[in-house]
């Protein structure tokens, strides 16, 4: 069969490759099907691609913010071409009853084995809860060749003002923690790992074929199995791939000085940690499985190892007060976070937080494309502060972080590269800091 796999886009989409679709394309091809990824984010147009490829089936992959675009495409393709539509990805997995209104079939969660099996059955209908892969190395290497990797690599990753030619890789799936704003709070999927051999094979391919300077590890958390993580670092060094600069996400509990030293030797330059808040009360409310002390110690260890910290923080969780936000601001300074990413809490479908406030979300009737995690204009989840005050605190913290995140030469470099964006940011900073 011929299957078109569509990656919908919205204005302002991040230019990061959708590896989920590349994994699916690889397993479908291994099962004898012909696939074509049609990637709006890389600038490809759906209609000419479908005219040329003439698929039997169309698959759409999307997170919540892309849902309106995905539904629009699906309805139009059904009406004009009468093709069978299958949906998957974070949003259809969370809200399958909503998605099936625009599709013949929704597969929830990881679909590498389920999608080909479904096509073989000839009964492409309904909502399917698949058996997910347990042995990750058994999944073929994702068909990255079907993605416009040059566009993605060139979009790059910016670290400390420098932009590196970057592509992503996934070395594990799942997370042992259950933060209430994350889909892992509701998802049953166990932790699974690729072997270091497979990781090195993919890294070598990206380095040789796509000439990347840097790699982004898209794992939710990379060091949950400390032994395997150390083996990956050693394999990177042994295979001469430590010229690649990289960053990864860690939980404070998995940060250890000896591991950090090895990571640095293997090319790591930045560690991302979800500190979320400087208030223990907030950390407990969101089920972070960490303490302020542990988070502070982790940030210090990262600094002492000579690596940069990118800290993620969240504002507006239920019960958060002004004092809690001020503690977060204090934490960012005291922990000497190099790059602070400030997010406004958003009840993303599929999370425990969404389950808590879903009636409010339904009443508000806000379009899913507003659910970007940086947009205070969705639903206020926090009764402890008036929405207006909370948004002001969020914008002030985000503005102060933006000023701290770059040194003056780094700001100048960015302004030269993106002059229009620089003017916009400068105006926003001035108005926010004045308020
Ligand atoms: C890597 C990652 C990123 C990367 C790359 C994203 C990308 N282009 O794919 C980066 C860092 C850029 C990113 C950014 C964001 N992300 Co993100 N990200 C992830 C993460 C950790 C892993 C995704 C992944 O690659 N998994 C591995 C692959 C194999 O799985 P997959 O993509 O889900 O695909 C499988 C299935 O979903 C299914 N499937 C997928 N598509 C289709 C299609 C069909 C037809 C079928 C049948 C099946 C199917 O089969 C695939 C193979 O098994 C997930 C967490 C998670 N566990 O999903 C969050 C996650 C997807 N991200 C999320 C969010 C919110 C964001 C941001 C908004 C965060 C922010 N504030 O910046 C941005 C938005 C970016 C944008 N504007 O496009 C949420 C989405 C929640 C939701 N309800 O939509 C998640 C679930 C994390 C969370 N908070 O819980 N993200
Ligand atoms: S540690 Fe990260 S990936 Fe794991 S549940 Fe918390 S936010 Fe999600």
Cα of 326 from ligand 1 centre, angstroms: 31
- Which CATH superfamily groups domain 156-434? Aldolase class I (3.20.20.70)
pLDDT at 435: 66
Q: State yes or no: pLDDT of 424 exceeds 90.
A: no
What's the rounded mean pLDDT across residues 318-337? 96
CA-based R_g, the chain, Å = 22
| Mean confidence (pLDDT) of the chain | 93
Atom of ligand 1 nearest to the CA of 63: 84
Atom of ligand 2 nearest to the CA of 220: 3
pLDDT at 112: 97
Percent of the chain with pLDDT over 70: 96
What's the rounded mean pLDDT across residues 359-368? 94
Burial of 420 (0-12, 13-18, 19+ CB in 10 A): exposed
Q: Sketch the domain layout of the chain as residue ranges.
A: 2-136, 156-434
Closest CA relative to residue 279, chosen from 319, 325, 315: 325
Degrees to nearest 5, angle at CA 363 with 360 and 365: 110
- What the block records as the tokens of 154 is 């060139």
What does the DSSP assignment read for 169-184? E--EE--S---TTSGG
In the structure, what pLDDT confidence band is assigned to residue 128 with cuts at 50, 70 and 90?
Answer: very high
Lowest mean pLDDT among 153-167, 184-198, 279-293, 407-421: 407-421
Burial of 31 (0-12, 13-18, 19+ CB in 10 A): middle
* Cβ–ligand 2 contact at 175 (below 6 Å): yes
* Cβ–ligand 2 contact at 253 (below 6 Å): no
Q: Cα–Cα distance between 128 and 150 in angstroms, integer? A: 35
- Which CATH superfamily groups domain 2-136? Cobalamin-binding domain (3.40.50.280)
Q: State yes or no: pLDDT of 432 exceeds 90.
A: no
Place of tokens 């397993």: 27
Cα of 183 from ligand 2 centre, angstroms: 8
pLDDT at 162: 74
* Cβ–ligand 2 contact at 182 (below 6 Å): yes
Instruction: Centre a 10 Å sphere on the Cβ of residue 421 and count the other Cβ atoms it contains.
Output: 11
In the structure, what pLDDT confidence band is assigned to residue 419 with cuts at 50, 70 and 90?
Answer: confident
Sheet holding 245-250, edge to edge: 166-169, 214-217, 245-250, 268-276, 308-315, 339-344
pLDDT at 188: 85
List phi, psi (to 5°) of 159: -130, 125
pLDDT at 93: 98
CA distances from 192 to 90, 130, 240, 296 (A): 18, 16, 26, 29
Q: State yes or no: pLDDT of 266 exceeds 70.
A: yes
Of the residues 1, 5, 10, 16, which should be mutated to test ligand 1's pocket, given the most ligand atoms within 8 Å of the CB?
Answer: 16
Atom of ligand 1 nearest to the CA of 343: 71
Q: Is the distance from CB of 161 to CB of 41 less than 8 angstroms?
A: no
What's the rounded mean pLDDT across residues 78-87? 98
């Amino acid at each position: 069969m011929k299957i078109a796999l569509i990656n919908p886009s919205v204005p302002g989409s991040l230019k990061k490759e959708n590896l989920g679709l590349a994994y699916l394309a690889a397993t479908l091809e291994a099962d004898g099907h012909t696939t074509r990824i049609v990637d709006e984010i890389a600038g490809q147009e759906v209609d000419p691609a479908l005219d040329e490829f003439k698929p039997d089936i169309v698959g759409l992959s999307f997170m919540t913010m892309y849902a309106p675009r995905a539904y629009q495409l699906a309805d139009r393709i059904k009406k004009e071409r009468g093709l069978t539509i299958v949906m998957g990805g974070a949003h259809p997995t969370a809200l399958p009853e909503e998605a099936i209104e625009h599709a013949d079939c929704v597969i929830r969660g990881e679909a590498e084995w389920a999608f080909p099996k479904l096509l073989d059955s000839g009964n492409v209908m309904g909502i399917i809860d698949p058996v997910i892969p347990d042995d990750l190395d058994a999944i073929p290497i994702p068909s990255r060749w079907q993605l416009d990797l040059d566009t993605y690599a060139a979009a790059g990753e910016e670290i400390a003002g420098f932009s590196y030619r970057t592509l992503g890789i996934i070395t594990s799936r799942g997370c042992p923690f259950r933060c209430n704003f994350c889909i892992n709070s509701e998802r049953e999927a166990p932790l699974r790992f690729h072997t270091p051999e497979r990781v090195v094979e993919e890294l070598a391919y990206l380095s040789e074929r796509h000439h990347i300077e840097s790699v982004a590890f898209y794992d939710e958390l990379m060091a949950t199995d400390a032994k395997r993580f150390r083996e990956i670092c050693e394999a990177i060094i042994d295979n001469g791939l430590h010229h690649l600069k990289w960053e990864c996400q860690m939980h404070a509990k998995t940060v250890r000085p000896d591991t950090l030293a090895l990571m640095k030797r293997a090319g790591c330059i930045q560690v991302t940690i979800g500190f979320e808040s400087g208030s223990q009360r907030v950390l407990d409310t969101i089920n972070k499985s960490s303490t302020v002390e542990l988070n502070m110690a982790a940030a210090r260890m990262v600094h002492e190892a000579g690596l940069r910290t990118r800290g993620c923080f969240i504002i507006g969780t239920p019960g958060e007060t002004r004092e809690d936000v001020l503690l977060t601001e204090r934490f960012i300074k005291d922990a000497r976070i190099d790059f602070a990413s400030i997010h406004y809490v958003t009840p993303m479908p599929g999370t425990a937080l969404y389950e808590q406030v879903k009636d409010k979300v339904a009443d508000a009737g806000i379009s899913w494309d507003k659910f970007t995690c940086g947009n205070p204009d969705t639903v206020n989840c926090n009764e402890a502060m008036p929405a207006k005050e909370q948004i002001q605190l969020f914008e002030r913290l985000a503005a102060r972080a933006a000023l701290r995140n770059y040194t003056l030469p780094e700001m100048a470099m960015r302004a030269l590269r993106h002059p229009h964006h620089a003017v916009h940011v400068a105006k926003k900073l001035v108005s926010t800091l004045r308020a």
